[in-house]
Amino acid sequence: MGKFILKRIFLETLPSLLVIITVTFFLIRLAPGGPFSSEKQISAEVLEQLNSHYGMDKPLFAQYFSYLLNICKGDFGPSFKYPGRTVTELISESFPVSLELGLYALIFAILTGILAGVVAALKPGSFMDYFTMSVSMAGICIPAFVLGPLLVLVFSLKFGWVNVSGWNTFSDRILPSITLGMMYVAYIARLTRGGMLETMVQDFIYTARSKGLSETAVIFKHALRGALLPVISFMGPAAAGMISGSFVVETIFSIPGLGRFFVTAAFNRDYTMILGTVIFYAIIIIIFNTLVDIIQTILNPRLRNY
Amino acid sequence: MILDVRNISTVFHLRRADIHAVKDVSFQLFKGETLGIVGESGSGKTVLCQSILGLLPKPPVKTSGHAYFDNTDLLDCDSKKLRQIRGNQISMIFQDPSSAFNPYLRLSEQLIEPLISHGYKSRKNALEKARIILSETKIPQPQKRMYQYPHEFSGGMLQRAMIGMALITNPRIVIADEPTTALDVTVQARILQLMKRLQNQYSLSIIFITHNLGIVAGFCDRVVVMYAGVVLETASTADLFNHTAHPYTKALIKSVPSIDNSKDSLYMIPGMPPDPAARLSGCPFEPRCRYRTDKCLKSENRLRETGKNHFTSCIRVLESELSL
Amino acid sequence: MSEKPQDIKAIPSGNSLWKEGMGRFMHNKLAIFGSVFLFILVLLCVLAPLIAPYSYETQNLSYGSEPPGSSHIMGTDPLGRDLFTRILYGGRVSFSVGLCATAVSVLVGVIWGSFAGWFGGKIDTIMMRMVDIAYAFPFTIFVIILMVFFERSMLLLFAAIGAVEWLTMARIVRAQVMSIKHQEFIDAARGLGLSTHRIIFRHILPNITGPVIIYSTLTIPAVMLLEAFLSFLGLGVQPPASSWGILIREGAETMEEYPWLLVFPGLALSLTLFSLNFIGDALRDALDPRSSRE
Amino acid sequence: MRLTGYFIILIGLAGIHLSCTNRESAVEKATKNKILLFGNQTEPQDLDPHIVTGVPEFQIIESLLEGLTILDPQNLSPLPATASSWEISDNGLVYTFNIRKNAKWSNGDPVKASDFVFSFQRILSPALGSEYAYMLYCIKNAREFNKSQIDDFSEVGVKAVGDSILQIELCKPVPYFLSLIAHHSWYPVHPPTILRFGSIDTRGSKWTRPENFVGNGPFILDSWDINKIIIVKKSGTYYDNESVSLNGINFYPIENNLTEERSFRTGQLHITSSCPLNKIRWYRSNQPQNLRVDPYLGTYYYLVNVNNKPLDNKNVRKALALAIDREALTEHVLEGGQLPAASFTPPNVAGYTYGNALSFDTTEARKLLEEAGYDKNNPFPPVSLLYNTHESHHTIAQAIQQMWKIYLGIDITLINQEWKVYLETTQNHKYDLARMGWISDYNDPNSFLDLWITDGGNNRTGWSNLTYDSLVHAASLISDKEERFRLFSEAERILLDELPVLPIYFYTNVYLIHSSVMGWTPNILNNHNYKFIDLE
């Protein structure tokens, strides 16, 4: 297993990161409008000063290599939009919030999704099947920017149980994680149900029953393992998406997370911030995809022989 | 007598039609005996045993009748009680070992499961018992092989493990559903020999489902012949072969290829097995029977004794119009 | 062989999986309801210019945000435009975006995933790392650049969405292919000397229809809502035209005061999703050979 | 089914537990402790007065630092602040300020005249790259120093005479100078703190962190969590502490205006930065006392690219302007109390009002269009209207598109571009019509009219009119009010005759305010010094 991870990190991750950085670095220069273009016209001298301060006046390739050098030193450069802050600082201060929100959402999505999937698969075609499926599918067709305000209207404004926005007490975590997790519930429930239906007709289920196992043991010990394969490969990118924060949920509940920077950095043409967030997200995606591959080999021994 | 099955019938309520897989079957199983259930594929022999253990999914399937196993009727006791018996008192061996084991779990995990689920407390002892049972079923280095996965075993080896799994809780009855069909002949013999030895060692009674008369002759004490969900004849093995009491059994025996009679062409029973959905009256074998008369059409094919505990449902034999 | 050619035709062709599948599909009440509903909705949208009571752009400022009433069965938006008409016209955009972009993502994802899953080893690593790279890609910037360099066209919209959506499909397909790769019937096919291409498309793909269909029926609504974000950025639909995604996004802003602006487009999207999923389920049961044993 | 049963009971329990924790709303608690909860729209770029440009940044800096003068919330006239008094020379070129004796920095150092000289040098130093350096160009040689034509700051007309006298020499008379210097670009910074974290012109240094910040305003910076909250506490060293009644202010960077409104409704905010369009009608009927619609010194208009056919024809521009039903727009579409713009400068800008030049006259508009040669057989060529992605621009553009279609029979296409792309397109004149808005920094018509002088920085219309330039230039040299306003109105007449821009409406600042907030008097610069605010 160790060899597998080491191979994955050095032989695969670093080249991928290099490709991402290079492509992004040159691509964002194509987008019109620079970090300093603003409504009030800036004088040429000021623009020139700003460019020299941020090293933008040097030729593009020189900037590229100095940027790579800085990254190796762990310095992701100052943010254009927030001059007093460095990219590393912005990310390290806002990532823990997104991580916490993402984990709550992940747990919520997995528990509800798998439960709904299993319950629906037990009696395909029954009322229970359609009820759980339609509730879980609500997550897909009610987008976050509708579900969030809806939950707030009911639980904060009507019942007054939780605050409308902010990220202080534990109760501030409930609505945002449900909003963030709800969309993935639909995917997980549907995939689990599909997997369960396929596995429940296998022979080894009859063997398990013939051994006198209780129905729940048959489902959760035997059927679920096989059924979760498609779900797990879906969970890799989904979990990475949740952990790195969501622009919509964070703006609706005004949560100081990282998701916000992914989109605003692009709007502000905050080049260093864009690169910082892209690299950060690339690392998370690769970590989670590796995790998923490992879990898949654990779950499915047949994959182990390569 | 350890198991008394009385007029079980099982119907599959499917969308297209109701399929009567088992129609009013009764038989007895005595302690330490090996009862063979013989019939072509689709004759309902597997469904019969699965219905007894309640393994078939309830909604589409409906089973009626009784199956008394030391004075509890398996067919109408609550699922909790049935579960205590399944795997503990009565266990099953399936036909295709490669698909009967959960591909994602280690063998050891699946072996000790029957013990744990029936209240066996310590895992360590259970694993030890699993190792012993594996060595008894002649699997080399059981200690190492136990922790491997099903796809790392050959068919024969897996079937041995299956047998081990069935016996680990030393049940009183083992239902073997064509355990050797998926194996090649040499392994088949060794598996049957192993089952014989374990049967004597643990005084098991075995229900052996097969379509291979050769195995029945060599292995079973008594035989039940099934055709299209109905029992046509029940007899001890010797009586069955020497003085057969049903044309279908006669035809089955004739179609077994044997080295001594070197006739060139093989005997084939004409026609096709009946469509299970069709509601049949009279003797089900009538359309394909060489000795059929219109009487057979009206017979309510009830088993009646024609010799010392030798039963048949063929009216013509019963009225000794026919001797085979 | 003594039989003359035409005799072969006489023998009734086996009850091919496809025919049996369709038979079972027809039996599934919900699938029928789903496909009928979808058919009607698509028909309505296509015939929008003929049947729409108002033009989708005529405004009536004094009648802004009227609740559903006699004149406007679904009420009006803040600029006094008939919501029912805009939903019909919006449906045309959303359906084309939903179906085409999903088709692109399914096509590319399935092919990419199956090849990666089948070959394994080095090829699989390279292909999967490219997927990781594509995941990390800054989508917002990519869209802005697309918008600036190319004319604003629907094709561009499909390309942008397609370029993002196929990634997870590829991962799911790869996992499925790898778990099926070892089964006997694949070795048998290989034994027959079939080309890789043939094995994958004739033998492997039909066996992984389950997750593929499920995931693609879920991609369609997700893609429709992604289109709203792109239109917000200026890439998608230009006003005064609109799409369901945009209508829902605008409706969400005024959820409390004018709930019908959110409810009706939301309903259109959810009913489409439900019927798609019923059809998807029925399709999967129909196509899945194993479930024919029932 | 047991599992789902447990699930439901669990939720029920959580609900009961949360609902029984009844607590007074955040606003009531804050009012008791005299802490103002302020919705500040976005995360500030930085808290350095010489670098930032946005309103959210200004709202915070205004509590931490104080310039020579502050504006009277009622009539926006300059009041003595760090400068206790001042004398103006006869020719109006030399201003001498007396720095208040007891003015102190938050670390106890006295505020000296040299601090101001240092600060002006800092903002004017080219390396800092300050976008607001041009605000100080009225000082002698300031422009030259900022454009690094001269590098010895002593030549710039700013001198400290001893610790408490500051002398500023202007290059031309500026009648509104005393209200100009209330702008944050003129704020002093604490020289030792700046030099501790870099040189005088280091950009993005750490001096604005809570642990390092030193200011001379009524409040001190207590804590700053990115995208979460900025807390300022009452300063002990402020010279006028008695009249400051607030104990602290919490600034919440809530970007989504709907979330901000909801937070206000559940009592989490005293004041919001804006109010969503669609909520105005609700507040106007249900809670009128919480809704504030203050006039705001700004105009919303469409730029016209005068070089593109057919917009190079004056009659076409006039026709387009006359065919916009501004009343319907402001009344039905915006509903924010905005005033229809009949001229370019808003009414009553420091006493100057141009009056109504543009009316809604479709017959005249159609006549002008025909005169310009466009009718049935010579259809109007395609024209595009560009705007940046924002909720209200989107709605207004569609409304006007519809008006021009009905009243003039011309079809224009709408192009919606992301903010930076939009700026680039307008700067390169690659548009026909483009949405633009201008909010003035100081209370004087000059801020509106000097936009359109030939190749002025913000003049992206390509329009140039020499008489207009000379009039605006002349008006800026005269200190007599009547004469200046006469010249300005003459210039605006030319502007509204040529119409390189189509004014649409004058901004209003619509926001929500809790009844417990006292002293938040409305004014057109939205300038509310926290000294005058109290909570009941």
Chains A, D in contact, 3 or more Cβ pairs below 8 Å: yes
Chains B, D in contact, 3 or more Cβ pairs below 8 Å: no
Residue type for position B170: N
CA distance D32 to chain C (A): 32
Angle between helix axes C121-136 and A271-299 (nearest 10 degrees) is 140
Are A29 and A60 a contacting pair, CB within 8 Å?
A: yes
Please enumerate in sequence order all residues whose Cβ is within 8 A of that of A13, keeping only pairs 6 or more positions apart, or say none: A283, A286
D258 vs C contacts (CB less than 8 Å): 253
Partner-chain contact D276 C78, CB within 8 Å: no
Partner-chain contact C294 B14, CB within 8 Å: yes
pLDDT in tens, chain A (306 residues): 677 777 777 777 888 889 989 988 888 888 777 888 777 777 787 888 888 888 888 888 888 999 999 988 888 888 888 888 889 999 999 999 999 999 999 999 999 999 999 988 888 777 888 888 888 888 888 888 888 888 988 888 888 888 888 888 888 899 999 999 998 998 899 889 888 888 888 888 888 888 888 888 888 888 888 888 888 888 888 898 888 878 888 888 989 988 888 888 888 888 889 899 888 888 888 888 888 888 888 877 776 654
Q: Give dist(CA D530, CA A54) in Å, integer.
A: 36
What digits encode the pLDDT tens for the residues D280-292?
A: 888 988 889 999 8
Q: Give dist(CA B215, CA B188) in Å, integer.
A: 9
CB contact residues (below 8 A), chain A span 258-277, against chain D: 260, 267-269
Partner-chain contact C274 A134, CB within 8 Å: yes
Partner-chain contact B102 A212, CB within 8 Å: no
- Is the CB of C215 inside 8 Å of chain A's CB atoms? yes
CA-nearest residue to B57 within chain C is C294
D401 vs C contacts (CB less than 8 Å): 240
Please enumerate in sequence order all residues whose Cβ is within 8 A of that of C195, keeping only pairs 6 or more positions apart, or say none: none
Of D395, D413, D417, the CB nearest to C234: D417
- Is the CB of B161 inside 8 Å of chain A's CB atoms? no
Smallest CA-to-CA distance from D46 within D121, D132, D115 is with: D132
Partner-chain contact A115 D3, CB within 8 Å: yes
pLDDT in tens, chain D (536 residues): 455 566 667 666 665 665 555 567 888 889 899 999 999 988 898 899 998 888 899 999 999 999 999 988 888 888 999 999 999 988 888 999 999 988 999 999 999 999 999 999 999 988 888 888 888 988 999 988 988 888 888 889 899 998 889 999 998 888 888 888 999 999 999 999 999 998 888 887 889 999 999 999 999 999 999 889 999 999 989 998 888 999 999 999 998 888 999 999 888 999 999 888 878 888 988 889 999 888 888 999 999 998 888 888 888 899 899 999 998 888 888 888 888 998 999 888 888 888 888 888 888 888 888 888 887 778 888 889 998 877 688 888 988 988 898 888 888 888 888 888 888 888 888 899 999 888 888 888 888 888 888 877 788 888 888 999 898 888 887 878 888 889 998 999 999 998 999 999 998 888 999 999 988 988 888 888 898 888 98
Tokens of B176: 């073997």
Q: Where is B7: in which H helix or E strand?
A: strand B3-13
Smallest CA-to-CA distance from D51 within D205, D212, D253, D203 is with: D203
Partner-chain contact D423 A37, CB within 8 Å: yes
Give Cα separations from B54 to A189, B58, B96, D291, D390 (angstroms).
30, 8, 20, 72, 66
How crowded is residue A26: how many other Cβ atoms within 10 Å of its Cβ?
Answer: 12
- Is the CB of A246 inside 8 Å of chain D's CB atoms? no
Work out how many CB contacts closer than 8 A connect A with B.
72
Q: What is the DSSP string of chain C?
A: ----HHHHHHSPPP--HHHHHHHHHHH-HHHHHHHHHHHHHHHHHHTHHHH-SS-SS---GGGTTPPS-SSSTT-B-TT--BHHHHHHHHHHHHHHHHHHHHHHHHHHHHHHHHHHHHH-HHHHHHHHHHHHHHHHS-HHHHHHHHHHHS---HHHHHHHHHHHHHHHHHHHHHHHHHHHTTSHHHHHHHHTT--HHHIIIIIIHHHTHHHHHHHHHHHHHHHHHHHHHHHHHTSSPPTT---HHHHHHHHHHTTTT-THHHHHHHHHHHHHHHHHHHHHHHHHHHH-GGGGG-
Partner-chain contact B94 A225, CB within 8 Å: no
Partner-chain contact C27 B15, CB within 8 Å: yes
Tokens of D61: 């800096």
The full set of domain ranges for chain B reads 3-227
A262 vs C contacts (CB less than 8 Å): 138, 140
Smallest CA-to-CA distance from D387 within D350, D354, D352, D425 is with: D425
A301 vs B contacts (CB less than 8 Å): 103-104, 149, 151
CA distance A10 to chain D (A): 35
The number of residues making up chain A comes to 306
How crowded is residue D27: how many other Cβ atoms within 10 Å of its Cβ?
Answer: 23
Q: How many CA atoms lie within 13 A of A50 on its CB side?
A: 18
Q: What is the DSSP string of C216-241?
A: HHHHHHHHHHHHHHHHHHTSSPPTT-
CA distance A13 to chain D (A): 31
Q: Which chains touch C (3 or more CB pairs under 8 A)?
A: A, B, D
**Cα maximum dimension of chain A:** 84
Of C144, C256, C266, the CB nearest to A142: C266
- Is the CB of D413 inside 8 Å of chain C's CB atoms? yes
Smallest CA-to-CA distance from B191 within B154, B136, B137 is with: B137
What digits encode the pLDDT tens for the residues B117-152?
A: 887 788 888 888 888 888 888 888 888 888 888 888
CA-nearest residue to D18 within chain A is A161
Are B28 and B5 a contacting pair, CB within 8 Å?
A: yes
Q: Give dist(CA C232, CA B188) in Å, integer.
A: 71
Q: Give dist(CA A255, CA A100) in Å, integer.
A: 11
Three-class secondary structure of residue B73 per DSSP: strand
* Buried residues in B213-250 as b, exposed as e (16+ CB within 10 A): bebbbebbbbbbbbbbbbbbbbbbbebbeeebbbbbbb
Work out how many CB contacts closer than 8 A connect C with D.
64
Q: Give dist(CA C69, CA C90) in Å, integer.
A: 21
Domains of chain A and CATH, by start: 2-72 (no CATH), 93-303 (1.10.3720.10)
- For the domain made up of B3-227, give the CATH fold: Rossmann fold (3.40.50)
Are D494 and D344 a contacting pair, CB within 8 Å?
A: no
CA-nearest residue to C256 within chain A is A153
A88 vs D contacts (CB less than 8 Å): none
Smallest CA-to-CA distance from C111 within C169, C157, C69 is with: C169
Q: Where is D265: in which H helix or E strand?
A: helix D257-265
- Is the CB of A298 inside 8 Å of chain B's CB atoms? no
Give Cα separations from D346 to B319, D439, D522 (angstroms).
119, 10, 16
Q: How many CA atoms lie within 13 A of D299 on its CB side?
A: 20
Tokens of C119: 């070959």
Are C62 and C55 a contacting pair, CB within 8 Å?
A: no
For residue D461, the 8-state DSSP code is S
Q: Give dist(CA A299, CA A291) in Å, integer.
A: 12
Are D158 and D120 a contacting pair, CB within 8 Å?
A: yes
Residue type for position B27: F
Partner-chain contact D391 C253, CB within 8 Å: yes
Helices (H), chain B: 45-53, 79-85, 97-100, 107-117, 123-136, 142-145, 155-167, 185-202, 213-219, 237-242, 247-254, 294-298, 315-318
Q: Which chains touch D (3 or more CB pairs under 8 A)?
A: A, C
CA distance A212 to chain C (A): 24
CA distance A15 to chain D (A): 32
Q: 3-state SS of B131-200?
A: HHHHHHCCCCCHHHHCCCCHHHCCHHHHHHHHHHHHHCCCCCEEEEECCCCCCCHHHHHHHHHHHHHHHH
- Is the CB of B151 inside 8 Å of chain C's CB atoms? yes
Q: Give dist(CA A211, CA B86) in Å, integer.
A: 6
Tokens of D197: 């974290």
CB contact residues (below 8 A), chain B span 117-156, against chain A: 117-118, 149, 151
Partner-chain contact A214 B117, CB within 8 Å: yes
Residue type for position C286: A
Is ipTM strictly over 0.85? no
Angle between helix axes C83-119 and C260-287 (nearest 10 degrees) is 40
CA-nearest residue to A202 within chain B is B99
CB contact residues (below 8 A), chain B span 52-91, against chain A: 53, 55, 59, 83-88, 91
